[in-house]
Amino acid sequence: MESSVLECLGVEIIGVMSPVSICMFLVVLLVYALSSPSSSAATITTAANLVYAENPADSTAQKLEGALLNAVVFVGLIALVTFLLVLLYYYNCTAFLRHYTRFSAFFVLASMGGSILLSLLQRFSIPIDAITSLLLLFNFTVVGVLSVFAGGIPILLRQGYMVCLGIIVAAWFTKLPEWTTWTLLVALALYDLVAVLAPGGPLKLLVDLASTRNEELPALVYEARPTVATRTPAALGFLVAGVSDSEASRVELQVVSRDNVSNIDNDNDDDINMNHGRSDEGERSPLVGGMRFGEVVIDEEMSPLVEMGGVGDGEEEERVMREIGGDRGIKLGLGDFVFYSVLVGRAAMYDLMTVYACYLAIISGLGCTLILLSVCRQALPALPISIALGVLFYFLTRLLMEPFIVGTATNLMMF
């Protein structure tokens, strides 16, 4: 029997919104720290502005046309690469994809992260020699790659490095020209909508293939899992209903005899007695932990979608393992972190009022997306609602609210 889909949603929303907020906040700090009159007009050349290099002397029509061309080319390249990844994943080139993902993380941390580190050292005139800087960067990069991809790593460290990857990439994208940035954000939100929900969308194909094979996608994905320590092996780590149990709320599944059960059937099967933690506490618990199948111990919380009335033969045992063994945690792609932060970082180049408005709009859109996720129970794009609200609130704040607030404040008007 299904319980309310919103019953455990609060913890999951906090588990996703907290790292997103941290990522956006640190990107805003980087934008303010690295911005200076000499570097304000400096832009980078990437795949996002290959066609048109924005010039302040260009007219509005030229800027809009060039930004649209940049967005179309960039989204086209992303779609092409995504279809190529789907093709490789379809032909079981999973090892190649995993190595490619590791190389991408290494490149971001070493190259782009190293450039940001150098800028920070120069900006604040930190007295540190080149050898020490390289050693610090090397250790940071190696530990980051191992934390993201290796097993047996504390989940907090893995989540922290995923946020670092988002911060580094977002800080680079904030160097794009203004018109190109806003057009690119809107185009990516539309592409995300089509790629995830359209029948032939590349991301939908990728998710369906991974679901069919019952394996994780070889991609950089932030997983909002609990941070409490459990005895779950790395291969069986999963989240059910958003929160896992702690040592104080363990429940043992023990096989007891017919004499110890008051309400049983007439067959000869053993029943399952769920006892809370210590043997002297006989109250019933909604948690299920310490389930022993052979030598495997699984500590997880009981999902409202999974009922365990009993474990019988091997086929039934396998069915229960399959039902509860899937990953129930909310996963957010690294690109969502990046483009949320790019929007807020671009707003930070104007004033703090637009930063507050864009942040609230993005968080509201993410909350709406998570509620839809709990209702639809399928993969949903995380960019469209948040980016649409963020862009809308940016221009409303910049064109309407900011002149009104500044005007009333300068004329000493109070309400």
The catalytic site residues sit at: 192, 336
3-state secondary structure of 274: strand
CA angle 79, 84, 87 (to 5 degrees): 125
298/308 Cα distance (integer angstroms)? 14
DSSP state at residue 92: T
Residue 70, Cβ neighbours under 10 Å: how many?
27
Residue 273, Cβ neighbours under 10 Å: how many?
15
Give the contacts of 274 (CB within 8 A, at least 6 positions apart).
Answer: 251, 252, 253, 284, 285, 288
Label residue 283 exposed, middle or buried (CB < 10 Å: 0-12, 13-18, 19+): exposed
238/242 Cα distance (integer angstroms)? 10
User: How would you classify the pairing of strands 296-300 and 221-224?
Assistant: unpaired
242/327 Cα distance (integer angstroms)? 10
Label residue 169 exposed, middle or buried (CB < 10 Å: 0-12, 13-18, 19+): buried
- Whether residue 183 contacts residue 70, with contact meaning beta carbons closer than 8 Å, is answered with yes
- What's the token pair of residue 98? 């995993």
φ, ψ of residue 328 in degrees (nearest 5): -100, 0
CA angle 125, 112, 28 (to 5 degrees): 65
- Whether residue 264 contacts residue 271, with contact meaning beta carbons closer than 8 Å, is answered with yes
- Whether residue 105 contacts residue 148, with contact meaning beta carbons closer than 8 Å, is answered with yes
3-state secondary structure of 220: coil
DSSP state at residue 301: P
239/232 Cα distance (integer angstroms)? 11
- Whether residue 89 contacts residue 96, with contact meaning beta carbons closer than 8 Å, is answered with no
